[in-house]
Amino acid sequence: MIAELQLDLARMRSLKVASGPVLCGRVMACDGGLVEVAGLPLPIGSLGAIEGEDGEVSLAEVIGFRSGHSLMMLLGDTVLLRPNAPVRALGNPGAVQLGDALLGRAVDGLGNPIDGGPPLGLNQSWPLAGRRESALERAPVREPFDCGVRAINALATMGVGQRMGVIAGSGVGKSVLIDTVAGHAEADIIVVALIGERAREVSDFVSRHMQGARRGRIVVVAVPADHAPNLRLRAAQYASAIAEYFRSRGKRTMLIVDSLTRVAHAARELALLLGEPGAARGYPPSALAAITKLVERAGNSARSGGSVTGLYTVLADGDDAQDPVVDTARAILDGHILLSRDLAQRGHYPAIDIPASLSRVMDDLVDPHLMHAARRIRSLVSAREENRDLVLMGAYRSGTDPVLDAALEQSAVIDAFLQQPRGDAINLADSFGELQSVASIGAAHA
């Protein structure tokens, strides 16, 4: 007990305590989750503590200004909030605390532990919005990244520092695919942001991954769907800040955000609350810009030699591939994996639509003969899927199309290559070896 108290005292001595006065204000109005505060001129993104009627403290974040008053949004519920309630400033505006103590832990959007573990001793400050780098400070993507999924490794090869999207409708297998990548990707640090998901999925993910040898290099930032929109948006920014921090130390980091659509929804709620008009299908311009800012924080650093490889899931509402969030994400990402509901209904896992999926950096990562093999498999899969109905009706005559003939003859081999048992991992070398084997069989029968 004495030893633990001595450790706590040592941590307290190391903390930097501000000696100046603390800014305070008063609640002037409250409309839903939006709180108008007078006498508290804080920058946007700053946090404040509002005292309730029963003495409880509610956290709020500055999201705008109006007529000299700060507009704050609660990070929790509006229970027992009263007029003229005192509000005091908290922490350093726009900064978060990071450190190695985050490894192996699950936290919320404010950095508070949610896994039942001890408090975190974090002593490194980092901007929540990140440190902007010039375009020339970003090193190019030149090294392949092993994600553990054979179809992606072989046919849409990811690179270290690439930003890849996983696009699909609800219930098609995004979360399961992300779970496989998080459990088997080759990276020094893995940061997983679960934004707007079900609380049960958060609990299941933590119980599966926060154990064993990999626990010491994974960080989970989770804010379920029933939390405030600014807390959901802050969680995505916080996870990106964690990944950037480890990149600055030369680490090969992987950032997984599930999902980018929930981040856009949170940004839309904030923008509409501030009076910004909706544009593309109700999404204000700032909501779509939030996606671009978040994705651009991933990449390679020429200065530190570290990297952030980003994998972002994108929910296509109503399976609409032209949804504004999907379209915006696809335009800024370095590639995308499209999941097919038809394949999922056939029991094909992972349900990756190979012809519609691509990696924009694959040509720079693999040898020309592997690219030729990948194109061969893509052409066979495309020919088979385009003529599937014709073949099932018996209207196709063998010999009409040599490519389709080869695709039908090697259909079982191709399906066995594209499918992978859940939880299993196939590394890059094995994926490339099997790719060449399947492509050579198809070429021999062409």
* Sequence ranges of the chain with CATH classification 2.40.30.20: 21-93
Encode the chain (446 residues) as per-residue pLDDT tens digits.
Answer: 676 676 667 666 665 555 556 778 999 988 877 899 998 888 888 899 998 777 788 889 998 888 889 999 988 776 678 888 899 988 788 889 999 999 999 999 989 999 888 888 888 899 998 888 788 888 999 999 999 999 999 999 999 999 999 999 888 888 889 989 998 899 999 999 999 888 888 888 888 888 777 788 999 999 998 888 999 999 999 999 999 999 999 999 999 998 899 999 999 988 888 888 877 777 898 888 999 999 999 999 988 999 999 999 998 877 777 788 999 999 999 999 999 999 999 889 999 999 999 999 999 999 999 999 999 999 999 999 888 888 888 888 888 888 888 888 999 999 999 999 887 889 999 999 999 988 887 555 55
What's the topology of domain 21-93?
Elongation Factor Tu (Ef-tu); domain 3 (2.40.30)
Query: Could you tell me if 257 and 196 are in contact, meaning their C-beta atoms sit under 8 angstroms apart?
Result: no
Residue 111, SS3 per DSSP: coil
Task: Please name the CATH architecture into which domain 96-361 falls.
Answer: 3-Layer(aba) Sandwich (3.40)
Phi then psi for residue 388, to 5 deg, are: -60, -50
Residue type, 112: N
With a CB cutoff of 8 Å and minimum separation 6, the contacts of 155 are 354, 357, 374, 377, 378, 435
Phi then psi for residue 246, to 5 deg, are: -70, -30
* Sequence ranges of the chain with CATH classification 1.20.1270.330: 369-441
* Sequence ranges of the chain with CATH classification 3.40.50.12240: 96-361
47: enclosing H helix or E strand: strand 47-51
428-444 helix and 368-386 helix, angle to the nearest 10 degrees: 60
DSSP per residue, 150-167: HHHHHHS-EETT-EEEEE
Look up the CATH number of domain 369-441: 1.20.1270.330
